[in-house]
Amino acid sequence: MQRHLFDSGALGGKNVLFAIGVGVGVIGVGVLLNRLVGRKRSRVVQVGTVSQVLVYPVKSCKGMAVSKAACLEMGLKYGETRDRQWLVIQEDGHMVTARQIPQLVLVSVSADDTCLCLNAQGMEELRVPFRLPSSLLVKTCRVWGCDIQGRDCGDEPSQWLTRYANSETRLHLVQFELSMKPRSSKDTEKLFSPKDKVMYPDCSPILLLSEASVEDLNGRLEKKASVANFRPNIVVAGCEPFAEDSWDELQIGSIRLHRVMSCGRCIMTTVDPETGIIDRKQPLETLKSYRQCDPAEQQIYKTSPKFGQYYSVDTTGVLQVGDPVYMITY
């Protein structure tokens, strides 16, 4: 008898293999569907546009408005400068800000390939090398009750700052080096995560504020304030006043941020960024009249009015003026 090309044994074996293949395929699709169903579904909505990017290399001195900056875990970086990487201190290491020396806000800061450059009225330009000699002392500095190191930038910056501030005590400029241990944001504000680290900022790597919030405030003031009164890193246009209060997670360019808390405002906001004169009243008193926290948050903010938002950096990258700002919701 002639044998069929596919005998029953061979056909049965192939059916078994086919059944096994289909079963594995069904199981694989099921696992994939389960993963997709279990995954959070996000929704992305544009809430505004970046109108300003600001880096403040020296704490309390003028900011640099830049078109583009890297956004890193410890804040913005532009060229060789990083946000609040330099600090003015007293002889004993305690920080000095515009709260004590208001005219610091009039010191303009720029940079070239090798030096940080400081300029102020009546003063010659001060050039501070980015790469400081290892022979210069490393000082222990005190920032909001926490110790952090900084390398003394030398006698010339010290004399320049002391003379400019007309200070009776000697001032020093120190630089944070990346090999040094940063401060933990959580040591200053408990709402931050243990992973959040900063150099010399008060507590947060990023402060964001909307133009509309400043405009809303100015509608209540006789003498107008400016964005410079509040020293944000990112300014957003095209939204409602205080919309940023509800932006818990943001995507800007290639970076991703999450909101930690509001910025509780202090007397620093009353330093006029154009004159260097401290008013001690406005715009702080007006902010206190309508931007106080809920009673449940009083242990966090006390009597400080909320204005602008502190963010932590989840995904590093680059942001620039003109970038759409997207809120991510789940």
Tell me what pLDDT residue 231 has.
Answer: 98
**pTM for this predicted structure:** 0.88
Tell me what pLDDT residue 35 has.
Answer: 42
Tell me what pLDDT residue 310 has.
Answer: 98
CA 211 – CA 215 distance, rounded (Å): 6
Tell me what pLDDT residue 111 has.
Answer: 97
Tell me what pLDDT residue 39 has.
Answer: 53
Question: Which residue positions in the chain have pLDDT lower than 50?
Answer: 1-38
Tell me what pLDDT residue 290 has.
Answer: 98
Tell me what pLDDT residue 30 has.
Answer: 41
**CB contact set of 313 (below 8 Å; sequence gap of 6+):** 71, 72, 73, 75, 205, 206, 255, 256, 257
Tell me what pLDDT residue 241 has.
Answer: 98
- Give the chain's domains with CATH numbers: 44-329 (2.40.33.20)
CA 151 – CA 136 distance, rounded (Å): 7
